[in-house]
Structure 1
Amino acid sequence: MKVAFLGTGLMGLPMAQRLLAANIELIAYNRTPEKLAPLQADGAEIATHPRHAIRAADCIILMLTNVAAIYSVLLSDTSWRTLSGRTVIQMGTITPTESQEIRDAVVAAGGEYIEAPVLGSIPEAETGNLIVMVGAQETQFHRHFRLLQYFGPEPRLIGSVGSAAALKLALNQLIASLTTSFALSLAFIQRQDINPEVFMEILRESALYAPTFDKKLSRMLDGNFANPNFPTKHLLKDTDLFISEAKSADLDVSSIKGVRQILQAAMKMSFANDDYSSVFYAIKAWEEGRWE
């Protein structure tokens, strides 16, 4: 089997490298060709156009930024015509409706489509310990199970196409909400001259604790948001997707709208490409009037 990997950014690159390490024949494409250099050095074939990668492969893995990028790379006139007889595995974060629409386009072109968004960041991508959630028919899931295991040890079938995309949005909403809530509490105890370590000792002993708090603590205290595992701009994009879908489901989105405002503030403070823990500085800047 030959795999085409379309999208080799922060997450896509280590995921594609996992396949190369397993001696899977790989052809890669990225809209920014410079990002392909590490894969080329590791032995991947490089495509200059997505249709070349699609035509050469049996299976196409998508790890692209958003649905617009998917349509541009996968479903343009020249690429769409090459999908017949091929399997598309969409692993980025998009809405259930978007995923279903892409499935319909792929099937109309004679191809097969499954969604398999992942939870985790660069360290988990590098070690193959992502949580892989699959939206597909059961037969499709079992047929591609071994391939998906290169990314996570226990891929899980959630339901039909759209179900895994929805679950991924629900989890990313928690990423945004938990991080901003923790950042607010941390900023508050600092203003009260309470030692952050005392705060953390008590928090770790409680049912309120989440491991992500310790993962982000040093970044927040040190103000070091460089070299992100997940940049602020991507979390804002996913938050917008969640808000849109939750409103369509007649849910009250007031709380996540507040989180979105803080993410937007971090963006205005030039943290778009930095780690999303930068929301800590956005929260602290409120009193100073820097993002009203």
Structure 2
Amino acid sequence: MEKYELITILGPTASGKTPFAAALAYDLDTEIISADSRQVYRGMDLGTGKDLEDYTVNGKPIPYHLIDICDAGEKYNVFEFQHDFAEAFSQIKEKGKLPILCGGTGMYIESVLKGYKLLAVPENTELRERLSGHSLEQLTEMLKQYKDLHNTTDVDTVKRAIRAIEIEEYYLNQAPDVNEFAPINSLIIGVDIEREARREKISRRLKSRLDAGMVDEVKRLLDSGISAEDLIYYGLEYKYLTLYATGQISFDEMFSQLEIAIHQFAKRQMTWFRGMERRGFSIHWLDAFMPMEEKIERVKGLLGRD
């Protein structure tokens, strides 16, 4: 039986990854490392879908890492994630436990599984000025010209698209072909949710989070001194809710545009995961609606623990 150093649970937004990872961590007596590019920010809770209550199973808190580790307004990146992951991974392994990596940010997941050598990419002022008048659609087309994209799923604002191009340009000239970290042999589990069911769940969850106070969360962040521009940078919920909170679009426009954007985001996530399979990763897909006990038994069978 193959020896794994890590369990990875991935899937698109609204597929139920976190409750599954928490139930599995409870069963295996282990800890979870989050692979979500937005849940690292403190105070950004409803908009990022942290659902921290999911980390308590049968009254037992499941330890988690890389959630709420930096302030809203900061710009966390995959380079920092690699280093923070390595630290959390080592801590859990030292306890004799098998860590679980769980999230939907494919670039973060792939970077640690492959051990990519990533660089802290500096700002390119000249490039930014040259691209400043371009639309998101134009920038997205430009990104498609690069051979080895380092990010496609999170490019949903002009600033993020320009940053992605900045990274690609830097790597064209600077990236060495050595790994900084050793690749990790991980059992990869994908949570597969049928497209229409996913769309229905996304819409239902969006309404629920709005009812729970997602608009108030964005207003609190703005009142705390974070600029509208910085919040819009984070994309998805924070982009459209900030536009609504600052009076640039109506509530109905915000809801419909955000709903479409989240559906498109989930589609891009699945495109990334299918790309991982083409790049040599073996992903064991489980149906999102499979009973939890059956999911856990499947994973334990793959681990040789049944």
Length-normalised TM-score, structure 1: 0.29
With a CA cutoff of 8 Å and minimum separation of 6, indicate the structure with the bigger relative contact order.
Answer: 2
